Structure 1
Amino acid sequence: MQTSGRSGKGPAVPAISFLLLYLAVSIAHATVSATSHPREAHPTPQIQETGFLNRTIEVQGITYRFQVYIPEDFHRAEPDRTADKKNDKKSNGTSGKESEPAPPIILFLHGRGERGSEGMWQTQIGLPQQLRDHPERWPFIVVMPQCPLRHFWTDPDMLQMAMASLDQEAREFHADPDRTYLTGLSLGGYGAWELARNFPHRWAAIAIAASGVFWSYAPDRWREVATLPAEYARHLGRTPIWLFHGAEDTTVVPRQSELMFEAIKAENGHVRLWDYQGLHHDCWTRAFNEPELPRWLLSHRLSQVPQLPPLAERITIPLHPPALKLPTAILDTYVGEYRDSYNVLVATIQRQGEQVFLRNAQGDVNEIMAESTSTFFYPSGSLTRLTFEHDAQGRVTGIQVRDDRHEELWEKKK
């Protein structure tokens, strides 16, 4: 006899299937939920890019490309939450993690030859060059806007763009407003002087190379030579300023820096002027390569400017140290051929009378002069030094070559 669907063991199979299906869906949903929304998950910390980074900014409807430099060991500072930290300490009894200090920041304005719109040419010379050569000296965020062709940094819209670039990067990287610095060279120095006058309470210190307030494209400004430098000096107050100029500069004459030095001195300001003997317009390579410059910047804070004493320091930097006259018997010990670590001939030392010459692998001959009994320099002003090394018996074994970036040993051919 056939039974109906409502009797016997027939209904047990679909009931069990339904229960298994329900459990499978529930488990799958729980797995997806746990994967999509993990409980007490810790977000992966974002790694900050460092080095030279591309940036853009829009000012008055125009987009400008520029660069910002972030030091390799940069740690992003967080906004000050002192009150929150105190509450946290009271609640949990722990000292909490100290926040990273706000980093110092520099606004750098390039020269006339680096103008453009690609956003990168301004990173080739001056301070950006030193960021590559000596990153260990410059623990700063550096903002490098670019002035377009047919414009000058002294144009009001260019000054606005430069400040907007600085403000944008200062906000993004939580830069220290107490350690905000201004630098510029040549045309960029013209712009730096304008920003120094227009925003005198923004800068903890200022460094300007090969520039002034009498623009080469506005010769009529020289008619105000009796009043214009003093006008800038009055706005600056005690803001510390370091000026650099080449004594042989015919593009922006040294008198420009001299006039500003005297004007700031008359106003009891805080100013240094270094005159480089023998250097022409490009004194900025030497200036930004001064190891003291980044230390000098960091020694100043905006909050301390009003307490700075008056200072007017002017120093003449010789092209090279005074040369010693060595006996020819000593000079003769240096004569010979010198090879690098690959046994390639790289230098030949020759003597002519009391003069010593070095011929390099390309055949170029240059005089070298004695700074000491064993160390020689190039009279061109190069930072390279050649130190002759000796063995225990006093025989010359090689030349230790040192420049601003590296050193190597040239062995004397026996």
Structure 2
Amino acid sequence: MNNHVSIEDVPLNGFHQLLSIRSGGGWVLDGYVLSIIGVAMVQLSTALDMTSFWQGMVAASALIGIFFGGFLGGLLTGSLGRRKLYFVGPAIFVICSVAQYWADSGAALFFFRFLIGIGVGFEYPVAGSLLVEFMPRKYRGPRLAMLTILWFAGAAAAYVVGNALLDSGRPDAWRLVLASPAVIGVVLLLIRIGTPESPRWLLSKGRAAEAERIIKKVYGPTFSLKNMPEQPTEKKVSLLDLLHSGYGKRMLFVAVFWSCSVIPVFAVYAFAPTVLQALNLKGEWASLGSVIITMLFVVGCIIATRLINVIGRRSMLIHSFLWSGLALLGLGMFSNGSEVLVLMLFGAYAVFIGGAQVLQLVYPNELFPTEIRSAAVGLGASLSRVGAAIGTWLVPISLQSIGVGHTMFAAAGVTLVGLLVALAIAPETRALSLQEAASLR
């Protein structure tokens, strides 16, 4: 009955919706666990008598962990499967978040948050690969893009819950703040129970019978391996294989565009009040501006999610870098402008960069075949976080040494690099099956 219907063209069913929640919950938790340290930092710095060195190390620890976690998670997901690694990230979040409650030094916090970063690094290749390998092509882009929105939702929740706990007046409130992600982690572990392995990964390991059973369970008894547009064969792939198998150019594209899209965002998002004050927004203007910018990042991602299947991946990336870069250029040129002008330019950047933000998860998952997909996503996540860590670390130094105007020009320069790379080699994968999108044709 369904001999000619590809699983890439089926309508969404209950399994797809549940898988979206299972994978999306990981991004909510990622946004929460990475942002919660900023809420607790002032109180914990005083309580633990932390030096500025350890404050900086604790703030950067998770980003360092993501670098290693992305590499490791990508390689292990390719060899051990998606399902087994699906529980590693949430388990690390639960254990280390609870352990932070008893941390008695900056070094201890650095260690636990470094491990949390490794867990976040695992989520990128594991949850993303599992979601994309089940999702029909029509919904693949929007569902992957949705994960970015959920990250910001988790970050917003961290500020709401964290500040509520701090306002309780308990002397150990910061400890409760740092332990709070464990609650979300336990819920995520529970809802991920029962998730099946990816049939595409099983076929890549020669386990056709298992793949067939899962296809029938997910799509119905009339579906079989014949309904899969791609039937990968067993193949061992190393990191060097990835770079020399003809996908090196795509890996370069992913690493560069991902880095160029996160470096200014992490810097702006982490230091929004400081940057706004340097742009002469004081008092209520600075507080209001920080809230508005955070909201507009979410708005930009939502708009991009709605448009991703309308204007296509390549066009969205080019326009995102172009218009967000012009907004940063305007901030550099008018760094002494009025409060309204500065907020308008900052807001324009937050909205327009949404396209590049949501494509961070779409492109890497679409451009590589099953055998190397998780390794490529993990590598992209790792390399982009190196840039993010450096960019975040440089912002206060740059503001002091060359001023806010030139700092904005530097951010615009990073965005320009992303635009040039997008113009030169960004492919279009809209409306393609996963096999077609990953093919080197």
TM-score normalized by the length of structure 1: 0.22
- Normalized per residue, the structure richer in strand is 1
- Normalized per residue, the structure richer in helix is 2
TM-score normalized by the length of structure 2: 0.21
Greater C-alpha radius of gyration: 1
Structure with greater contact order relative to length (CA < 8 Å, sep ≥ 6): 2
